[in-house]
Structure 1
Amino acid sequence: MARSDTLRSEIAQLEKKNAGLSNDLAKAQKTANDASAAALRKRGQAARSRSESSRRLALSGAEREAKKAADAQKKIAAIQDKMANNTKTIAGKQASLRAAVSIEQRAQDRQDDTRRRKEKNHAREVARLSQPAAHIRYVAVQLPKPEPLRVLYLTANPEAVETTIEHPDGSIETNGVWLRVDYEVRQVKDMLRKSKYRDLVTIEHLPAATAMDLLEGLNNHRPHVVHFSGHASSWGLLMENDAGTDAGAELDFGLLARMLGATDEPPRLVVLNACESLDGADDLLQTAPTVIGMSDEINDASAVTFAARFYSAIASAQSVSTAVEQAKVSMIAASLDGAELPVLRTRDGVDPGDLILVKPPE
């Protein structure tokens, strides 16, 4: 049962209880009024009586009725306290219900968006397969030169939404759909500063990256490694929109491969630190000899740990294969999920165990 349904049931039970208390309150008020009136009448009878025994009898009856009225008033106060507490509880649960409905609606919206995106991706994939294959430049593997490793680090987090809800008990709940990509870059740079050959690795970070930022980055920095962190699907990457709107711009893997090949110095390695990005490996291997992607959905903490440890190993002159293994081991040691998700793919004839991107000085 959904949280909202549970809350609705609890509110209905409390409202039913309040209705019963309201009936009890009306009965108690009637008892108090009747007893007070009876006590008043008996005191009047006592005052008018000429017989001492009749007067005492009337006063005794008046006292009984007065006590009955007092007991009824105590019952009224107790019922009113219960109704007040019930009403306060109902108000708190109604606030929780509004929050639960809002959270469930956002979850439903995300599910609907995921479903629509998958349907769209499927339609595009069908359309792509029905057309002649697009030209993707096949680039030969280049031997590393004795120069600093240049990493073009693109991050994008379009359509990020964050909502803060304050509950009646004072607790704060934050919900949203966003990625800690800036924190990931900071952790990578921190790990590089601790690495043995930190001076032989340079990172050019392009936040809120668009597809055009990628092309400009290829021209301006001639990167050996192109890294993307953000949202992805089995169809492509979700980049920022050049129009400046909240909606992301989808970049399919086929076009991404052509972009990476549209330069005189294509990258030696492409790292896609994003969900389901391994599906683009076949396209990207036409341009880059080595690709790292995620085989399924990966959470923020795991993605950050993977990236930081991977580049720490790379900057220690470890091979790409060893760097991936060190990153996976670090995820396991930190009790994080998804250590099996990063997958290294290469072209035929390329041994990732021999691919060392940082060449220490002789």
Structure 2
Amino acid sequence: MQSDQYKRDIANLDDAASKLRNEIGKQEKIAGDARAEANAKRAAAGKTKSKSTADMHLRSAKTHDGKVAAAEKKIGELQAKLSANAKSRLSKEQNLRSALKREQTAADSAAKQRLSKEKSQQAALDRDSAKRRRDELNHARELGRLGSSTVTHVMIPAPEPEKLRLLYLTASPLTDGAAPLRVDAEVNLVLKVIRGAKYRDQIDIEVRPAATVEDLLNGLNDHRPHVVHFSGHAGGGLLFDNASVTDPGEHLVGYKGVARLLKATDHPPTLVVLNACRTLEGVDELLKAASVVIAMSDTVGDASAAIFATHFYGGIAAAQSIGFALDQAGAMVAIALPDEPELAVLRSVDGIDPYAIQLIALPDV
């Protein structure tokens, strides 16, 4: 790439500048030594009473003055070259920035075209699948008509798309040094955004507050969720509630144990969302159970967690893919909290493209 050539040119200019500075240093030493020697010879000439000896010292001083002049001339030439080097480097840096911008623009355009092509291919596959279903239904109707002696018109409704099942677990148990979380407010905001979404009827959300590990297991069995979401504390695992009314506290379950539970079902979830601090450390384990995992890379505050969850599920409820719903949520967090780093990280198993997965099954058009 052109930017690589500019980088090599800048590196060469830096090497040349270093050599010029070294040479200037050498010439400055030569000039300094010669000047000191000339001064010493003049001082010696002033002290001697012999005219011939004084003349000899003065001639030597003049010779050293010539060395000073030659060294200073060389220094001037070297400094001129160093100045030209600096101008050339500035020009190369400007060219490098322009080249990097062009290359990034080209890369972004190529990525956009690739994504557009993938979406077009997926849309074509969806249309073919819908056409096959319609053809099969029409064929079944025709067989029924031919096999019946009485013509009966029966209205067969189109099959309903499968609803997205979301198991939403929240837990804010009493823990040493950890403040209670506003997970109840987060859930309320998520419910409101889903209620107002275009495809709200295609989402079945099951909320389990003060969730225990038994709530996770029961939710998997009862609800068969496509998405399992956890909002709460984490640290080496997920901190569930201990279900005690008189002695409330936490129940830490390591990521390996959580992944084992998620796999222990005929219908493992497609997506796991961990809206809790530093849960990125558990992603590798959870990817053994789910195709896609979203986790947080660092400490996440109540405001950031609520904005992320609200807009992520708002995107999902608008039939956006997992990848684009996360992009929307990240953009809204950045707008609302510009000083906070981007924490949500998406990981998927090999061969799975989160930008091609729409959790909302749209009706056939």
Normalising by the residue count of structure 2, what TM-score does the alignment of the two structures yield? Answer: 0.54
C-alpha distance in structure 1 between counterparts of 2:317 and 2:243, whole Å: 33
Q: Deviations over 1:167-222 (max 9, x none)?
A: xxxxxxxxx81100000000001111221111111210000001111000100100
1:246: how far off?
2.3
1:336 and 1:299, CA in 2 relative to 1: closer, same or farther beyond 3 A? farther
What code does the residue aligned with 1:241 have?
Answer: N
Q: Which residue of 2 aligns with 1:241?
A: 242
Query: Aligned pair 1:149/2:164, yes or no?
Result: yes
1:185 and 1:149, CA in 2 relative to 1: closer, same or farther beyond 3 A? same
Q: Deviations over 1:56-99 (max 9, x none)?
A: xxxxxxxxxxxxxxxxxxxxxxxxxxxxxxxxxxxxxxxxxxxx
C-alpha distance in structure 2 between counterparts of 1:208 and 1:148, whole Å: 25
Q: Which residue of 1 aligns with 2:215?
A: 213
1:262 and 1:326, CA in 2 relative to 1: closer, same or farther beyond 3 A? same
What code does the residue aligned with 1:265 have?
Answer: H
What code does the residue aligned with 1:152 have?
Answer: L
Matching of residues 79-228 of structure 1 within 5 Å = 146-159=161-174, 177-228=179-230
C-alpha contact 1:215 1:259 (8 A) present in aligned 2: yes
C-alpha distance in structure 1 between counterparts of 2:355 and 2:340, whole Å: 22
C-alpha distance in structure 2 between counterparts of 1:198 and 1:330, whole Å: 21
What code does the residue aligned with 2:174 have?
Answer: E
Give ranges in structure 1 of 5+ residues lacking alignment. Answer: 1-142, 163-175
**Structure 1 runs of 4+ off > 4 angstroms?**
none
Q: Which moved more, 1:330-339 or 1:315-324?
A: 330-339
Of 323, 329, 346, 1:344 maps to 346
C-alpha contact 2:255 2:286 (8 A) present in aligned 1: yes
Q: Which residue of 2 aligns with 1:253?
A: 255
1:308 and 1:255, CA in 2 relative to 1: closer, same or farther beyond 3 A? same
Which structure carries more helix by proportion? 2
1:272 and 1:200, CA in 2 relative to 1: closer, same or farther beyond 3 A? same
Q: Which residue of 1 aligns with 2:307?
A: 305
C-alpha distance in structure 2 between counterparts of 1:323 and 1:338, whole Å: 19
C-alpha distance in structure 2 between counterparts of 1:209 and 1:276, whole Å: 19
1:161 and 1:190, CA in 2 relative to 1: closer, same or farther beyond 3 A? farther
1:326: how far off?
0.2
What code does the residue aligned with 2:304 have?
Answer: S
C-alpha distance in structure 2 between counterparts of 1:315 and 1:339, whole Å: 26
C-alpha distance in structure 2 between counterparts of 1:202 and 1:338, whole Å: 32
C-alpha distance in structure 2 between counterparts of 1:340 and 1:270, whole Å: 19
Matching of residues 281-300 of structure 1 within 5 Å = 281-300=283-302
Which structure has more relative contact order (CA 8 Å, sep 6+)? It is: 1
1:336: how far off?
5.0
Q: Aligned to 2:325, what secondary structure does the other structure show?
A: helix
What code does the residue aligned with 2:173 have?
Answer: P
What code does the residue aligned with 2:165 have?
Answer: R
What code does the residue aligned with 1:184 have?
Answer: E
What code does the residue aligned with 1:205 have?
Answer: V
C-alpha distance in structure 1 between counterparts of 2:339 and 2:163, whole Å: 33
Give the total of aligned pairs.
Answer: 205
Matching of residues 54-93 of structure 1 within 5 Å = none
Q: Which residue of 2 aligns with 1:355?
A: 357
Give ranges in structure 2 of 5+ residues lacking alignment. Answer: 1-125, 127-159
